[in-house]
Amino acid sequence: MHRSLILLGSGYTAKFLLPLAQHHYSQVFATSRDPDRHLTHLNPNQRIQFDLAQPETWEAIPTTTDIVWCFPAIPIELVRQFADAASLHTRRLVVLGSTSAYDVDDSAEYPPPWVDETAQIDLKKPRVQGEELLRTSYGTIILRVAGIYGHGRNPVEWIRTGRVNRSPKYVNLIHVEDLASSCLAALTHAESGEVYNISDGYPRTWMEICQRVEQRWAIRSSNSQEVQATGKRVLNKRMCELLKLGGTGLRYGDLFEALELMQRNSLNEATPSP
């Protein structure tokens, strides 16, 4: 592992990963297309302008750092060109993919079968093509990430605003802090070219989640009017083994306990100090 880390892309996950990574790396950098506007929470010497679509920005990426790639690996030709230009095959590189890579959403079984890292993936998806190129040709570690929630991304609010409704579809989720811990564990302990599902391991239906939220906080939801796929149930055994190698484990294994904590914190933030 190198002494420095670069977060390619500075979205939601990177905001939680960066402070954690600073305990493990002597230097942590983050990139943005417009770093002086989007990375004001960082020291100027940590900000790097980078845009995959603008090859002239690639030279700003230091040559001897670990990397966490936080945005979709598309288009594939630019991914290939950047990978060669940045000598990605010589680095520890973790790419954040998605469990949507698995081509199993239309299962006739219900509940749907469990999905592990050996399940068939949909290579028609450009993002999956880019991830597989990086994995097979450059030794990249792929994290197939479930739906991310956490501070500022509260499923209770998704239900309150009607973004999600009651349905029998299964959903897999991961708290952003557990995702950040998984990224660091992968950088330190994962084998090159390996794939890990990143999920809390307890898939639930939106019906179950909506019912619990209504019982607990009196937030009503309606039944989905859309024809629903069954969803998938994602196994996280390999991820748990990886976290164990790093001396840790899931902090938020129970969604409903996490929602209780998030709601209490939101209430405290909304209450002015005496």
pLDDT digits 0-9 by tens, 178-204: 999 999 999 999 999 999 999 999 999
Window from 40-54, 118-132, 221-235 with minimum mean pLDDT: 221-235
> In this predicted model, what pLDDT tens digit does every residue of 71-106 receive, in sequence order?
999 999 999 999 999 999 999 999 999 999 998 866
Residue 270 pLDDT class (50, 70, 90 cuts): low
Residues 53 and 9 sit within 8 Å (Cβ to Cβ) = no
Question: What pLDDT does residue 267 have?
Answer: 77
- Cβ burial of 57 (10 Å; 0-12, 13-18, 19+) is middle
Four-point Cα dihedral 160, 166, 170, 171, nearest 10: -10
Tell me which residue has tokens 């083994």: 241
> Which residue, among 82, 195, 190, 182, has the nearest Cα to 144 in the 3D structure?
195
> In this predicted model, what pLDDT tens digit does every residue of 126-176 receive, in sequence order?
999 999 999 999 999 999 999 999 999 999 999 999 999 999 999 999 999
- Domain 72-267: CATH superfamily is NAD(P)-binding Rossmann-like Domain (3.40.50.720)
Per the DSSP assignment, residues forming a β-bridge with 95 are 69, 142
> pTM, whole model, 2 decimals?
0.95
Question: What pLDDT does residue 274 have?
Answer: 53
One-letter identity of residue 43: N
Helix and strand numbers (H, E) in the chain are 9, 13
For the chain, the C-alpha Rg in angstroms (whole number) is: 19
Question: What pLDDT does residue 269 have?
Answer: 72
Four-point Cα dihedral 92, 97, 102, 105, nearest 10: 160
Q: How many CB atoms lie within 10 A of CB 39?
A: 21
d(CA 138, CA 60): 20
